[in-house]
Amino acid sequence: MSTQAPERLGPYRLVRKIGEGGMGVVHLGLDSEGREVAIKVLHPHVAADLKARDRLTREVETMRRVRSPYVAEVVDAELVGGQPYVVTRFAPGRTLEETVLAEGALEARQIIRLAQGLCTALVAIHAAEVIHRDFKPSNVMLVNGEPLVIDFGIAHLVNATRLTQTGMFVGTPGYLAPEIIRDSEITQAADVHALASTVFFAATGAPPFGTGTFEAVCFNIMEGRAQIDKAPAWLRGWLSRALRVEPGARPSAQELLRMARSLDPTVTSFHETPSDGPTGTKRMGNRTRVMDNYADVLPPVTYGSPPAPSPAPPREEKPPPYVPAPMPDRHPAPRVDQRVAGYPAPPTHPPAYQPTQGGRPPQQPPPYSPAPPAERKRYLVGSQFVGLLLLVTLTALAVMLPVAVSAVAVALALVLRVGEYLFGDMVKRRQVRGSSAADPLLVLVGTPWALVKAALVTLVHVPLALMFGVCVWGVLRWGGGMSVNDAAAYGAGAFSAGLFVLPGGGAPRKAVTRSLTGVLRTPGAALVAALVVGTAALLAVMFAMGQNPSWVPWRAPETVIDELTSQARHSTMGLITGLIDSLLNGMGMGFLSPWS
């Protein structure tokens, strides 16, 4: 499988890479109508793993179950092809991790807004019976100050089969719950722990369990050694409740949201009453205890070996207290999903090339910024230009064969309009709730109504195009001095073009653009198509201007007008109705004429 990123994936154009994680690469893309989307593509070596594909399938199913303005919704997905990918709504902005590393810890007002938004998202996630398992600063976007959860890469349904091997886990160590590290039963309480760790990072600029070696961070997490005293005083009670070691001692997402709504930077008190629940945990109640200090907000400290089912490890085997190692002047930026948030921010201007221990340059994704409108249009101009050349070819053919090609143009406009009504609506549905196995059935059921709707619109639109053609005919005949036949031929070309360019021709145009965008998957293909169709259009125009039109299966208009004139039908309306009557009779459809 090729490791080079394609220029297209399905109907989407890839603009540039905006991020990379352990499972795949995230690209900024454009759909067939030029709207920005985020496309997550599995790494080739990961896509070859059936378990990874299962995880991606679960991600799509999970995100479709969640409905929240604080969770990025799925637009589309392709899970069975050579390059599985998921398309989500593009969120312009920076991740919480990037924001804090660049600007420092958030202000109190921003912290409360972040905590309430994340808790609201977690309530929706847990209501869908989902465990996210990967709440962390790099998975939270800040869009106009509001948080948006963007990645469900390792989420799974409650009670779903574990896909990881025994003794293994996936996630970012600095934000994992103790039960995930212990490989014990994982519940929704793990998300509460990770959410609180993410808010702690936003409030302090550092992870709650320190930085350093993998073993030291995991040890601090399992021992409950959160550095709560580094957090603002008014936030410590909320954090200490959510960061407890035992899952049953943590509040639910709904209770955590209620507590977040009560956060106040001017108040350093919290409410608690004992609970009679089986776990012996304390729940928020009505009694208020104002603290003189904040020592009792911290996790309980056990002096000595805590009771445990298994014997405690010898004291000498425990890792020594964490002492930060001196940081070198040039620290290569780790990958987004592997960075423990306490690392120092990468330099503003990274060095051009600095090999790591493996001999490869560090990989740092480019800035996360939306494409400008001019760049979006550039990715559509190829298909639109080829469509314009096709319209020129059709118009030239209509000048050469006015009757036959005009009839074909009407039928083509009708078919394209039906296709746009069917598949355009399907694309809009997918943008709301993603692709579904029921889409083909909905297309089949909607076909009769699309036919009726397209026929009615075409019946209204054809007379408008016919009037446009008659106007061109009159201008060329009496204003340009052309013969009747030549002016009528150009009028037929104007009629055929009017079916697509006049008001009401938007649906056929969109259908052509959508079809060409799906076929021309690279700029090179668009260039080749433009050259081929452009050559055909040039030849068609040259032939149309250099030979007399053929009116088969009708007779030349000049002959018909002479016959009508000889019959003393001199009025303008008489000539027009006579021409239409003669045209329909010549095509074998005289029964449609109202003047027969």
Catalytic residue positions, numbered: 134
**Measured in whole angstroms, how far is the alpha carbon of residue 208 from the centre of its chain?**
32
Q: How is residue 17 written in tokens?
A: 């890479």
Contacts of 517 (CB under 8 A, 6+ apart): 11, 32, 380, 383
Residue 52 near residue 406, CB atoms below 8 Å: no
CA distance 466 to 491: 9
Strand partners, 37: 29, 89
Q: What is the DSSP string of 31-89?
A: -TTS-EEEEEEE-HHHHT-HHHHHHHHHHHHHHHH---TTBPPEEEEE-SSSS-EEEEE
* Helix, strand, coil content of the chain in percent (nearest 5): 50, 10, 40
Contacts of 254 (CB under 8 A, 6+ apart): 123
Nearest C-alpha neighbor of 548 from the set 398, 399, 395, 409: 399
Q: What is the DSSP string of 537-589?
A: HHHHHHHHHHS----TTS--HHHHHHHHHHTT--SHHHHHHHHHHHHHHHTT-
**Measured in whole angstroms, how far is the alpha carbon of residue 55 from the centre of its chain?**
19
Residue 125 near residue 191, CB atoms below 8 Å: yes
CA distance 490 to 469: 8
CA distance 192 to 126: 10
CA distance 230 to 112: 17
Residue 385 near residue 516, CB atoms below 8 Å: no
Handedness of CA 310, 315, 316, 320 (dihedral sign): positive
CA distance 587 to 122: 67
Nearest C-alpha neighbor of 505 from the set 468, 544, 452: 468
Contacts of 200 (CB under 8 A, 6+ apart): 207, 208, 226, 231, 239, 243
